[in-house]
Structure formats: structure tokens, C-alpha cells
Amino acid sequence: MTLSDALLLLERCFSGVGEGAPRLQEQEDARFALRPSAVWLEYRWYVQARGMAEVFLKWPRHAAGQGATAEATVLRVHLLGVSPLLSERAARLLVGGTPSRDRILDLFGDDGVRRECVSLGRTNVTVEHWDPLPGPRPLLDDARFTSLAEVLEAPDSTPEARHEAVQRLADERSPRVVAALLALVARKPSLMALRVLSEWGVVESREALLRDLALVRPDNPADLWTLTALDRRLQAWSALQ
């Protein structure tokens, strides 16, 4: 599927749905020209009710001169929050495709996210359901929670240790975990904590994110892209409030 076909498919499937933040189009922003990657990226954030469809497209950088005729290699949608309409619109992207296995599973294994994946020509189209499962979430044992929270608070903990602790704490989606992660990002940078908080729609984390974004050097386009994308995600959540 060419890039122009993929863009047309997106517009058709999400017609009439509002976008909560400006699109992030890497190829059109000189800040990201030197990002170390073999692909160009475009992100969008469709919002409705209490949910978000975070969309991204990939196509080869070596095809820059081909414009809209370049081949789209990946079209992926992350469904966050709760919106039956967005789920239905995302499902339209899969119509007519050949069921396939998402290549991300070969990289990271089964991470618990429900995925629907098809191939449209040589384009991999995937819908990922990040929406919360119904019913109460299990809580960590109090001693386990305390030990993990102490890692975040310890002044001598390593970034790797904090990253691991955030991942384990994120198994419990609760006010006490949100408070612990907000306290962490208020004190020091933590990309993993910002990822989790932005996924959960905790817009209070945006102040810390903008602080970290302002400190990114121009010669670090990878972090610049990642933090800018997370900021747009938080902007989109804010549009629902």
C-alpha cells in the first residue's frame, strides 16, 4: 500500500472524528532529519468520548524522493481509554486485509496487549487494544509496593533501577502508583514514568515533561521526537477534559 493510499484509508476510516493534538510529521520538521532511523514517522491523535486512537505511519527514509508513492510499511493504532466509536473506526482499517502476525511480538514477546494484525499488500496494519480491562485491577502487596516506591525515592538509585521499578509499579493502575510516578518525574527525568502516565491520561505530568523537553539538546533528535510525541499525547488527553 502506498503512502498516499494509507493516508486516504486513515482519512476515510476516521472521517468526522476530532484530533486532540497537532499531527507530528517527522519528514516535514527539520529537527528530526538526523534521527537515527531507517523510516519516517507520522503520528496522529484522534479523540472521542473517554478514549484516544493514537495512530502512526512508517515509510522508508530512502524513499523520500518518491513522495506519496513511497510504500507505507506500518500503519498502527493504539486504542487508549474507552471509546466504542474509536474502536469501531480502527477496526475498519483491517477490512480486506490478510490476517498476519505482528512483527513486534518477535521482538518483545507477548506483552499482554491484544492485537489485531493484517497485511494490506506489504503494509502491516495493526490495532492494539491498550484500553483498561473491565473490573478492578489487582493491587501489589503492600510490602512490594513500598520496596518499589523506595527505589524511586532513593537518591542513589540508578536510572536502570528506576526504570525497572516503574515497570513493576505500572502493573497496579491506582492512585498511589500515580502519586509515586508523579513525585518521581517532579524530581528527576524518567522517560518510562512519563510513558506510563501519558498512557493513563495523567495530564498533571505534562509540566515535568515540558521541563525535560526543554532540556533536550538539538543533537539528540531521538529523545526530542519521543518527548514531543508524549507531549502531544497529553495534549490530546487534555482535549477530552
Smallest CA-to-CA distance from 41 within 50, 30, 32 is with 32
pLDDT at 64: 59
Q: Would you kindly state where each structural domain of the chain is located, as residue ranges?
A: 3-129, 142-239
- Tell me the three cell numbers of residue 102: 505482528
Q: What percent of the chain has pLDDT over 90?
A: 80
Contact 232, 43 (CB under 8 A): yes
Q: How far apart are CA 84 and CA 94, in angstroms?
A: 16
Question: pLDDT band at 103, cuts 50/70/90?
Answer: low
Q: How far apart are CA 126 and CA 124, in angstroms?
A: 6
Is 90 exceeded by the pLDDT of residue 147?
yes
pLDDT at 44: 98
Is 80 exceeded by the pLDDT of residue 136?
no
**Sheet containing strand 74-82, strands side by side:** 24-25, 39-48, 50-60, 74-82, 123-129, 114-120, 98-99
Tens of pLDDT, residue by residue over 35-47, are 889 899 999 999 9
Give the pTM.
0.92
- Tell me the three cell numbers of residue 189: 527525568
Please state, rounded to an integer, the average pLDDT across all residues of the chain.
92
Distances from the Cα of 63 to the Cαs of 59, 147, 168, 200, in angstroms? 8, 49, 40, 35
Max alpha carbon distance in the chain (Å)?
57
Whose cell is 506510563? That residue is 196
Is 70 exceeded by the pLDDT of residue 65?
no
Tens of pLDDT, residue by residue over 114-124, are 999 999 999 99
Q: How far apart are CA 150 and CA 73, in angstroms?
A: 43
Q: How far apart are CA 120 and CA 125, in angstroms?
A: 7
Tens of pLDDT, residue by residue over 75-87, are 999 999 999 999 9
